[in-house]
Structure 1
């Protein structure tokens, strides 16, 4: 009996150790090398920076103090002069702040646009984070909403790209922004404004998106997320005139295991759900969405 109890205790301790490692609790200190005095102070746990803006310099910026338009963006060698409007990238779950940077660079290379990120922190792992999101206000959504409103009032286009859980926060942020703007403009004016918002999701974990913005949803037929929690799930509302790009893909060289430890099950999941797989199938927004005009 004593041996059984010790064995159960050892298993429990092992499970807890695995749970708080990099894959399940990616809370670490962000860049201590940031020298921008307008950036937030470093040294806090990642969750502290939930909803903050990440710049090309690795610094994080408080959206209540610094506009996303003033944050230095990642610019790749493939950037095109005609595509000046930056993409706001919202990462999926289980990302340390510094893990978002390589995805920003790859997205900039793929899109030809500058890229900044709105950081989606994970609190204690996927399940606790999902519960937390349901119980508290999404800081990421709040940042998205406030920055959308600011840009639309200045008649600027907005481009948003999000992966996995990032789509949940984007959906919430869009709804908040539209609710606020509805009290300021009539229907025709609001429709014209919202047409300046361009959103693309990749393996998005959100099934409902408000009408008005232009949407492209990328879906891998082997990825369980879109069919269970995304735009292919029952009763989904992908947004009026949304374009759904469905493909069948598998990536044996996923990006995420290159910078963090993942278990074997998560590894298989990332082979069909990872950032780099979806990036390979991404196309320029203005070429894929028939009513869009590049800016």
Structure 2
């Protein structure tokens, strides 16, 4: 969250008419709204005027982010594979050709994890989360990027993902990757965080459908093949997962995302309509404070509760 720029004085001299004209021309739509409000109250006491200056300095960029301004650069990477140093690779690139993020104390890990990020996370943000996962798990981490287009658009996409409607490049890339790896006889480990967990669930249902419809496999054979998938979710927004993969779901009961939009907390009146997947381990814990954002963080909260996959499957948290 952007903080107030304290180096900027609230007692700046009034702009000249020529300067005002240039500044108004350069303002975006949100800036014009703020400017219009300021203009309408020029005659009110100066302390309120100074308050508006502080609001403009501190929050204009945050408002622009809210509605997706300047998100075009990140959209370029939607659905791409992400490797070390934030390098991106086209969907379909063999995983062995993507240099992953490795633990700081082990440049040659044996395991590889595919990671799908949540909302409001550009590539550089996903890269930081990938490093946290690598250091915690001891595995090499490859990202599948879920691009951000601002909070409002990201949330709208979450709704369409829950309805299994609309295109989402991250869903397509993950589904294609998992399908190809399974057909090649390889095991795959996947992590999905927040919306990334929802994307993971949607991709898994896509893979299940391909195996059943396109390949004509029985339900039993489909589940057996999908049993080669290890899936971990953290604060995920999905309420349903297909049978077959081996699951571990982490839910912080102080986190509104999974408790209200995902598999729910320990006391959930809607639990009967939710499905964590056959044989899934759901680890619920309570950690955090009154800050809903910090209670949902992957690197500073959920990774503190993550244990090795086999231990988690055995219930040893």
> If the length of structure 2 is used for normalisation, what is the TM-score?
0.72
3-state SS of 1:20 partner: helix
* Conserved 8 A contact 1:88-1:117: yes
Match of 2:239 in 1: 207
Deviation at 1:132, TM superposition (A): 3.8
1:140 paired residue number = 170
For residue 74 of structure 2, the aligned residue among 19, 29, 46 is: 46
Indicate whether 1:71 and 2:101 are aligned: no
1:237 aligns with 2:275: yes
Following superposition, the deviation at residue 84 of structure 1 comes to: 2.1
The one-character-per-residue Cα deviations of 1:101-159 (angstroms, maximum 9, x if unpaired) are 1111111111011111101112222x322324526211111111000011001111111
Matched residue SS, 1:278? helix
Q: 2:254 aligns with which of 222, 225, 231?
A: 222
Q: Partners in 2 of 1:113 and 1:26 — Cα distance?
A: 35
Closer, same or farther: CA 124–285 of 1 in aligned 2, 3 Å: same
Stretches of structure 1 that go unaligned for 5 or more consecutive residues are: 29-43, 252-264
State whether residues 83 and 101 of structure 2, in contact with CA within 8 Å, keep that contact through their aligned partners in structure 1: yes
Q: What count of residue pairs does the alignment treat as equivalent?
A: 254
Local SS of the residue matching 1:287? helix
Is 1:24–1:94's contact at 8 Å kept on the other side of the alignment?
Answer: no
Deviations 1:161-218 (A, max 9, x none): 1111111111111111110011322334322211111111111111111111111110
Equivalent residue for 1:96, pick from 100, 106, 122? 122
Counterpart CA distance in 1 for 2:146 and 2:38 is 41
Q: Distance in 2 between matches of 1:290 and 1:80?
A: 28
Q: Does 1:280 align with 2:304?
A: yes
Superposed CA offset, 1:229-251 (max 9, x none):
01116222111111111111127
CA drift at 1:18: 2.7
Name the counterpart of 1:6: 40
Counterparts of 2:182 and 2:111 in 1: how far apart (Å)? 13
- Write the distance in 2 (CA, Å) between the matches of 1:138 and 1:209: 18
The separation in 1 between residues aligned to 2:249 and 2:102, in whole angstroms, is: 24
CA distance in 2, matches of 1:249, 1:137: 35
**Offset from partner CA, 1:36-60 (integer Å, 9 cap, x none):** xxxxxxxx61012111110013211
Distance in 2 between residues matched to 1:130 and 1:176, nearest whole Å: 21
1:149 and 2:174 are equivalent in the alignment? no
Deviation at 1:5, TM superposition (A): 8.0
Instruction: Quote the Cα distance in structure 2 between the aligned partners of 1:3 and 1:284.
Output: 54
Given that 2:288 and 2:295 are in contact with CA atoms closer than 8 Å, whether structure 1 keeps it comes out as yes
- Larger % of helix: which? 2
* Structure 2: runs of 5 or more not aligned: 1-35, 42-51
